[in-house]
Amino acid sequence: MLSLFWPARFYFFMVSPTLMRRNDSTRGAELNLEAKHLFQLIHLEKKGKNDAGDDTPKISVSEMISKLSFVYEKIRNAVDYEEDHLLRKNAIIRILKRQVMIEGVLKESNSEQLATHLLAELIRAGYLPNNKLPETKIKETALLLEKYIRLKNHSVAQINAQLNLKTDLNQAKILIGEKNTMVGWLLSLAACEIEENFDLNRVKHAVVSSMFGILSKNLELPASLPYQEDLEIQTYLSISRVFMRYDEAMLSLVLFKYYNASWAGAEKDNLSDQEIINIASTLAVLKNRIDEQLTHPLVKQLDRLVKVYSLYYNILLENVQSDPVKAFEDLSRDENKFIGNIRKTCAAKYHRENNRLWRKALRSIIYIFLTKSIFVFLIEVPAIKWFKEPLNITSLIINVSFPAVLLFLIVLLSRTPDKKNTEKIVSGVKEIALVGMGRKQPILIRAPKRRHSATDFFFNFLYTAAFFASSYGILKVLAWAHFNWVSMIIFMFFLAFVSFFSIIVTKDIKDLIIVEKRENLIGFLLDLFYMPIIAVGKWLSEKASKVNVFVFFFDFIIEAPFKIFVEIAEDWTRYVKERKDNML
């Protein structure tokens, strides 16, 4: 069933005579079939990279008005930390929810109007290039939207029919909540498919296909695990999550297509009303099945494994993409030269990711200062006065500056990859790319360890005791520094929050490290007393993200009127231009 929606295998074809030439008198190496396909596709992409013809009508918006939207989007994203590769997809979700769930109550819009507004907003905000996209993209996007609008309408109609039969107020509230959740979920799926249509990266999809082929061939489940039928889809999901960096909404789309084979690639006229009704009637059950797959017991093990293979492929891609012909010739003539280039690629990637880490840290410090440190000042001073506690200027300064300083120190002390790490990557690249270097032994998925309830209780008790012990020690130091109890609570809150947030910020540099760190006493004690604080920070972060006042302010108070103003300004500039043209 998986073959219905992921990229098809690329058949072997001669891209360039140079790519096929091999000098048998040298000590080179030979690429396996999957790696040849990848080299050839990269070569094709480099040769065929050009824009649509100059005569093709393009979507354009006012450059002057776009600057306003661009600045707004930057400010809005500063108070809602998200990974860069998710920003456009999240913007599409916001726009669709505003157009359908808020503005749609006031006016009726068809899929083409929604697509036109959507693309215009994305261009104004800088997520898509101005005057580059062909106008045919509006029709493509409208066809994608039409499927989801039809499905939404049928789903809402079915829930409304149940509402008409209900007289109990509590049950009616539950159904209304289910309806809003379902509409929001469908719009997020639509946004993900639109984003997918914008980012048709054939090379990445070829890597997904190649990695899936290698892992499917080598993964083996013990007989005691009853997950054989889920292994295939879980492997694909893990590759999508780790290599493609899909979030939960994007993975939900993968599963949605997996369970509805007719949906993938279907346009407005390809799905009958009966097919849409059939999907709508089982939508709640389908969503539950998707949620179960997203929290599958195999997720963590597969993700750790795929993280390693993703690094191998990323290094290979970076080594090949600049000049695939030269990379192929180096490998064919002298394997050592190719391996030397892989080592150089690793060193360059380490340096680049370290620079990127500091850029992310700077953005994160700004985010923390805007959304958290200001709150310290706004909350701590009134709270101290309310409870009639003495105001300590030193504790106030520490609490305002502490989150950003702590994040800076954590980034400064982050571990970087070493030579052993590079050699393991070299071995991995050989495994995925060269003939005769594939794995000889299967990769056995281990059954999750089940502890005795008494052992589990003891470990949980020890973990909790470590948290209270470390918290007590920190509070004693704060008391020595004359912190009052209000300042102490705020300090502990930000210690936990920033400790967890630092893991997100440093994730990319840590993902480059595939050699396990040697255990020592300091590391053991740090894990014992600091990890519980990080766990609390994760819990606080998840709760705080749901009540982000700044995001609510931008999305529900500022964004809708601002976008209306932008559209009016856009129409006005177009009108003035038309009047000017008519005078000539």
The DSSP result for 124-183, as a single string, is HTTSS-TTTSBTHHHHHHHHHHHHHHHHHHHHHHHHHHHHHH---HHHHHHHHHHHHHHH
How far apart, in whole angstroms, are the C-alpha atoms of residue 489 and residue 468?
A: 14
The one-letter amino acid code at 233 reads I
Q: What is the DSSP letter of 389?
A: P
Please give the structure tokens belonging to residue 349. 């990637």
How far apart, in whole angstroms, are the C-alpha atoms of residue 81 and residue 344?
A: 33
Q: What is the DSSP letter of 444?
A: E
CA angle 549, 551, 557 (to 5 degrees): 90
Q: What per-residue confidence (pLDDT) applies to 190?
A: 94
Phi, psi at residue 308, to the nearest 5°? -70, -50
Integer-rounded Cα Rg, in Å, for the chain is 27
How far apart, in whole angstroms, are the C-alpha atoms of residue 392 and residue 485?
A: 11
CA angle 457, 460, 461 (to 5 degrees): 85
Please give the structure tokens belonging to residue 60. 């354009």
Q: Rounded to the nearest 10 degrees, what angle do helices 136-165 and 169-198 cross at?
A: 170
Burial class (CB in 10 A: 0-12, 13-18, 19+), 273: exposed
Which residues partner with 220 through β-bridges? 444
Among 379, 354, 402, which residue's Cα sits nearest to residue 508?
354
**Residue whose structure tokens are 């292994």:** 231
Q: What is the DSSP letter of 268?
A: G
Contact between residue 70 and residue 125 where contact means Cβ atoms under 8 Å apart:
yes
Contact between residue 404 and residue 397 where contact means Cβ atoms under 8 Å apart:
no
**482: alpha, beta or left? (left if phi > 0; alpha if psi -120 to 50):** left
- For 374, half-sphere exposure in the C-beta direction (CA atoms, 13 angstrom radius) is 10
Work out the number of other CB atoms within 10 angstroms of the CB of residue 404.
Answer: 21
Burial class (CB in 10 A: 0-12, 13-18, 19+), 451: exposed
pLDDT in tens, 124-182: 888 888 888 888 899 999 999 999 999 998 998 888 888 777 667 788 788 888 888 89
Q: What is the DSSP letter of 219?
A: E
Contact between residue 249 and residue 188 where contact means Cβ atoms under 8 Å apart:
yes
Among 157, 95, 160, 163, which residue's Cα sits nearest to residue 123?
95
Which residues partner with 58 through β-bridges? 134
Q: What per-residue confidence (pLDDT) applies to 19?
A: 41
pLDDT in tens, 212-256: 999 999 998 888 788 889 999 999 999 999 999 999 999 999 999
Please give the structure tokens belonging to residue 129. 């290039």
Q: Number of helices (H) and strands (E) in the chain: give both, helices first.
A: 24, 2
Q: Where are the beta strands (DSSP E) in 176-234?
A: 219-220
The one-letter amino acid code at 265 reads G
Q: What per-residue confidence (pLDDT) applies to 299?
A: 93
Please give the structure tokens belonging to residue 381. 């001073």
Name the stretches of the chain with pLDDT < 70: 1-28, 48-55, 64-65, 77-82, 102-109, 166-167, 265-270, 370-377, 380-381, 391, 448, 451, 519, 541-584
Which residues make Cβ contacts (< 8 Å) with residue 531, sequence separation at least 6?
Answer: 463
How far apart, in whole angstroms, are the C-alpha atoms of residue 240 and residue 256?
A: 14
The one-letter amino acid code at 65 reads I
Phi, psi at residue 507, to the nearest 5°? -60, -45
Q: What per-residue confidence (pLDDT) applies to 191?
A: 94
Q: Which alpha helices (H) appear in 387-484, and where do they start and end?
A: 393-412, 419-433, 453-480
How far apart, in whole angstroms, are the C-alpha atoms of residue 469 and residue 266?
A: 58
How far apart, in whole angstroms, are the C-alpha atoms of residue 296 and residue 255?
A: 13
- Torsion of the alpha carbons at 254, 257, 263 and 264, rounded to the nearest 10: 60
Domain map (residue ranges) of the chain: 79-198+278-292, 334-440+452-546
pLDDT in tens, 288-297: 999 999 999 9
Q: Report the sign of the C-alpha dihedral through residues 14, 17, 18, 23, in that order.
A: positive
